[in-house]
Amino acid sequence: MSVKLQTPIDYLKGVGPNRADLLRKELGIHTYQDLINLFPNRYIDRTRYYKINQLQRNNADVQVVGKIIAFKEVAQKRGKRLVGTFQDDTGTMELVWFRGQKWIRDNLKLNKPYIIFGKTNWFNGKFNMPHPDIEELEAHKQNLRSAMQPVYPSTEKLSNRGITNRVIGKIMQQLFIETGGRFTETLSKNLLTELKLISKSEALFNVHFPKSQELLSKAQFRLKFEELFYIQLQLIIKNLVHKTKIKGFPFEKVGIHFNTFFKEHLPFELTGAQKRVLKEIRADLGSNAQMNRLLQGDVGSGKTIVALMSMLIALDNGFQACLMAPTEILSVQHYNGLLEYCNKLNIRIGLLTGSTKTSERKIIHENLENGDLQILIGTHALLEDKVKFKNLGLAIIDEQHRFGVAQRSKLWKKGPPQSSQKEDAKSVQQNNGTSTPPHILVMTATPIPRTLAMSVYGDLDISIIDELPPGRQSIKTVHRYDKNRLNVFKFIKDEITKGRQIYIVYPLIQENEKMDYKDLMDGYESISRDFPLPDYQISIVHGKMKPADKDYEMQRFIKGETQIMVATTVIEVGVNVPNASVMIIESAERFGLSQLHQLRGRVGRGAEQSYCILMTSHKLSNDSKTRLETMVRTSDGFEIAEVDLRLRGPGDIMGTQQSGVLNLKIADIIKDNDILQLARHHAKTVLKNDSILASPDNKVILDTYKSLGKYKNIWNYIS
C-alpha cells in the first residue's frame, strides 16, 4: 500500500480544509486511501444525447444539449421557484430550481451551449427537469469522461454545501492524476492467474472511470473478491491461531455426572441434531485447545439440555461452569429449569443477578472461590470483579449479540491462574502470562443465515440444532386485518374456555402522533371491555414498569392466575408458559421478521396446538407483505433469517454494525454470496499450503494483511 495513500485528504488539490472536514464527517473519508475506496453506488450511461422532441414520459435520466433563453421567478406556497426556458433545435422545455437560485442566476449565462442531465417530469403539457446537472458544452468535451458515469454515495449536507457528485468525480480524477493511477498489487500472481483477475490498478481505474460495461464488471469482481478474501483470511487465521496457541483445559473424561443424567434423568430422547452437536462439543473439550463454538438452534430446539450436558462434562473433570444470559427474566428461567436436574444430581447451583441481595451475594462469592458452588447462572453481574471462580472451565453465553466485546473478554479472564497448570514457559507467554481461559460456548436462538455466519462468525466453529424435539406441534400462523377483530376475540374466548392462556403484544407504549398504530394502553382498555372482570383476568407488562411490578405481573400469568398477558416486546425472550397457546401480534407490520419469529416462539411449548395471529391494518408496504407472507408460510428459523437478511441487509442483523466487520466497501454478502464462497475457499487453500504465508508468492498477501491491520482496527472484533 503506497504511503501516498495514507496522505490526509486535506492535501489533495481541490479539497482544502473545509471540504476535507465535511468529507471526514459525512463520509468518513480521512485519507487518499479512503477516497479511492469510495465506490460508486450506481452508474449512468451518458453516451446518448436526446433531442427535446425525443423525450419520453418514463422518468429516466437523460442528457440534452441546448441553451437557456430566459429565466423567470414563479411564486409558490412557500417562497418561489426559478424557471429557465431551455431550447434546442426541436423545441423547448423548462429547468426548475427550488433552492440555490442566486448562484444559478449569477453563474449560468443565457444563449450559451450547455449539457443538462437529470430526470424529466411532464407538467402542464411540457417537459421539465428539476435541479439538472449542468455543464458548459466545451468543458464537457474536454473532461476525462468515461462512457459510464459513476454516482457516488452522498448526504444531504454534502449536496447543500456544493459537494455534488460532479465535485466528487473531479477530486477522484485529481487523485488519479497525483498517484499516476498506479497502485500496489494486493493479490498473489497465483490468484490473479487462476481466477483471471485484472490488476489492482486496472480495477480501481475501471471502477471509477469505466470505459464499458464489461470492464466495469471485471473491476467490480476483482475488488469484491479481494475484500471478501481478506476478511475470510483474517477469520480463518484467527481460528487457526486460536486452536494452536490458546490452550484450553483438556476435559479427558466423561464421568459420573454426565452418565447419571444421561441414563436416569434425561427428560426425553435426544434428537439426532442434539447428539451430533454434543459430539462436536465433546471433541472440542477433549482437545488441548480452548473451545470457541457457536451453538445455533431455533426457539424450543433443546439448546438448554445441550448446555447442561456440556457443563456436566466440566464438573466431571473437576471444573466449575457458568451460564450468562442478557436479561434477569432469562437468567431466572435458566436457573429454574436447571435447578430440578442439579438437585437430583446433588450439584450445587447458584443464581446471581442485579437484584440478588447483598447478604446472598457474599455467600455466592465465598462458595465460588472455595469451589463449593459448581454452576453459576446469571446476568452481566457475573462479570463484576468481585466474582471470582476457583476453577472456571466452561462459560456459556446465551444470545451473545446482546453483550459487548469488552464484556465477553472479561469472562475469559475468570479462568484459574496459569501457575496451577502444568504449562511450559512458551504457552504462558502466549496467554500473556495470566490465566487459561475457560472453554466458550455461545448460544443463540436467532438463526443466522449461513452467509452472515461465514462473514461474522467465521472464526468460531459452528454447531446447529436443526430439528425440534418429537411431540412438538408446529404453530399455526395466520394473518388477519383489523376488520376481523371480532372473530379473533371470539377465537380467544373459545381458547380460554378450553383453559388456555393468551399473549397480546403491541409495538408502542404511548401514542406517537405520526403513527396511527394502536398503542398498548388503548389496546388494554379495549381488551378489558371485551374481556371484563370477574370472568377474565388480564396482566399488563411493558418496559417502563418497575422490575418488581413487571415480575409480579409475569408471575401471575405464569401461575395461571391471569388468562391474558397484554405486553410490549419485553416478552420476546425468556417467558416460558407451556399453557399459553395463542400469540396475537398487533400492528405486526411494525415488527422485523426475527422479532416476529422470536415472539411466535413464546407459544407452542406445551402439547396443545398453538396459534400465532398477525393483526395489521390494510395499508401495507411491499416489505411488510413479504414479512407477513414468510411468517405464514414457514416456521423454519433459517429460512426466515435468509429473507430477513435480504430485506434488512447485514448491518442490522446480529448487531454486526457494532463489530465493524461488515463495513464492506464494495462487496455485498447477500448479492455476492458466490464470490464470498469462492473467497473463503481460496483463503483456506492459501493457508492450508502455507499457514504462515512465508512463501515468496504469498509475500504480497502477507504485506497486505499486515497493512490492513495497521491502518484499520476492524480486525480485532468479536468473540
With cell 422470536, the residue in question is 598
Give the pLDDT confidence of 595-613 residue by residue, as tens digits. Answer: 899 889 888 887 889 999 9
Contacts of residues 616-623 at CB distance under 8 Å and 24 or more positions apart, as own/partner, are: 616/479, 616/480, 616/481, 616/482, 616/587, 616/588, 616/589, 617/481, 617/482, 617/516, 617/587, 617/589, 618/481, 618/482, 620/589, 621/589, 623/647
Tell me the residue range of the domain where 681 lies.
224-244+672-716
The mean of the pLDDT values for the chain is 86
Q: What is the pLDDT of residue 94?
A: 95
CA–CA distance, 210 with 208 (Å, rounded to integer) = 6
- What is the tally of structural domains in the chain? 5
Cell, residue 335 = 436457573
Residue 191, all three cell numbers: 490468484
Specify the pLDDT at position 8: 94
For residues 122 and 228, which has the higher predicted lDDT (pLDDT)? 228
Is residue 459 domain-resident? no
255 and 121 housed in the same domain: no
> What's the confidence (pLDDT) of residue 495?
96
| 103 and 167 part of one domain | no
Question: Which CATH number belongs to the domain containing residue 130 in this structure?
Answer: 2.40.50.140
Considering the domain boundaries, does residue 209 fall inside one? Answer: no
Which residue, 365, 366, 310, is CA-closest to 338? 310
- Cell numbers representing residue 66 in the block: 441546448
pLDDT reported for residue 146? 53
183 vs 2, residue with greater confidence: 183
- Sequence-distant (≥ 6) Cβ neighbours of residue 201 within 8 angstroms: 181, 182, 183, 185
> Would you state the torsion angle of the CA atoms of residues 524, 527, 529, 534, taken in this order, to the nearest 10 degrees?
-100
Q: For 460-467, what is the mean pLDDT?
A: 85
Instruction: Give the pLDDT of residue 417.
Output: 67
Mean pLDDT confidence for 326-352: 92
603 and 584 both lie in a single domain: yes
**Residue 275 is assigned to a structural domain of this protein:** yes
Is the pLDDT at 418 greater than 80? The verdict is no
Cell numbers standing for residue 470: 418429537
Q: Is the Cα dihedral 623, 628, 629, 634 positive or negative?
A: positive
CA gap 446, 450 in Å, rounded: 12
* 362 and 411 belong to one structural domain: yes
* Rounded Cα gap, residues 687 and 459, in angstroms: 14
For residue 160, name the pLDDT band (cuts at 50, 70, 90): confident
Tell me: pLDDT of 92 over 90.
yes
Higher pLDDT, 330 or 111: 111
Q: Are 579 and 606 in contact (CB under 8 A)?
A: yes
Residues 35 and 67 in one domain: no
User: Amino acid identity of 537?
Assistant: Q
Pair 295, 542: CB distance under 8 Å: no
What contacts 58, CB < 8 A, 6 or more positions away?
A: none
Question: Is residue 292 situated within a structural domain?
Answer: no
| 514: CATH | 3.40.50.300
Residue 662: pLDDT band (50, 70, 90) is low
Grouping H, G, I as helix, E, B as strand and the rest as coil, residue 202 is helix
Give the residue with greater pLDDT, 543 vs 84.
84
Predicted TM-score of the model (pTM): 0.66
User: Last residue of a domain, which of 576, 609, 634?
Assistant: 634
% residues pLDDT > 90 (the chain): 54
In terms of domains, do 414 and 544 share one?
no
> Which of 444, 467, 495 is where one domain is finished?
444
pLDDT of residue 140: 82
Whether residues 128 and 170 share a domain: the answer is no
Inform me whether the pLDDT recorded for 530 exceeds 70.
yes
Q: What is the pLDDT of residues 674-694, one digit of tens each?
A: 898 899 999 999 999 998 999
Taking the C-alpha atoms of residue 331 and residue 347, their distance in angstroms, rounded to an integer, is: 18
Q: Does the structure show a pLDDT above 50 at 199?
A: yes
CA 602 – CA 572 distance, rounded (Å): 7
CB atoms near residue 337 (< 10 Å): 15
Same domain, yes or no, for 239 and 342? no
pLDDT score at 428: 32
Residue 323, pLDDT > 90, answer yes
Q: Does residue 534 have a cis peptide bond before it, meaning omega lies within 30 degrees of 0?
A: yes
Do 239 and 351 share a domain, yes or no?
Answer: no
**Distance between CA 277 and CA 43 in Å, rounded?**
47
| Lowest mean pLDDT segment, chosen from 54-58, 405-409, 654-658 | 654-658
* Environment class of 510 (CB within 10 Å of its CB; exposed 0-12, middle 13-18, buried 19+): exposed
> Which stretches of 196-327 are DSSP H helices?
200-208, 213-245, 256-260, 272-286, 303-316
Q: What is the layout of strands, in order, in the sheet containing 461-465?
A: 349-352, 375-378, 320-324, 392-398, 439-444, 292-297, 461-465
Confirm whether 314 is domain-assigned.
yes
**Residue 467 domain flag:** no
Whether residue 533 is found in the same domain as residue 593:
yes
Q: What is the pLDDT of residues 299-313, one digit of tens each?
A: 778 899 999 999 999
pLDDT of residue 404: 60
Write down the pLDDT at residue 572.
52
Interval 532-584: pLDDT, tens: 999 999 999 887 788 788 888 988 998 999 999 998 876 655 567 889 999 99
Region 692-714: mean pLDDT is 82
Are 42 and 150 within one domain? yes
Q: Which range has the worst mean pLDDT, 163-177, 285-299, 492-506, 564-578?
A: 564-578
Within a domain: residue 558?
yes
Q: How many Å apart are CA 274 and CA 278, to the nearest integer? A: 6
**12 and 80 co-located in one domain:** no
When pLDDT is averaged across residues 456-465 and rounded to a whole number, the result is 79
pLDDT of residue 270: 93
Looking at the domain assignment, is residue 215 inside a domain?
no
pLDDT at 489: 95
Q: Which of 423, 444, 465 is the last residue of a domain?
A: 444
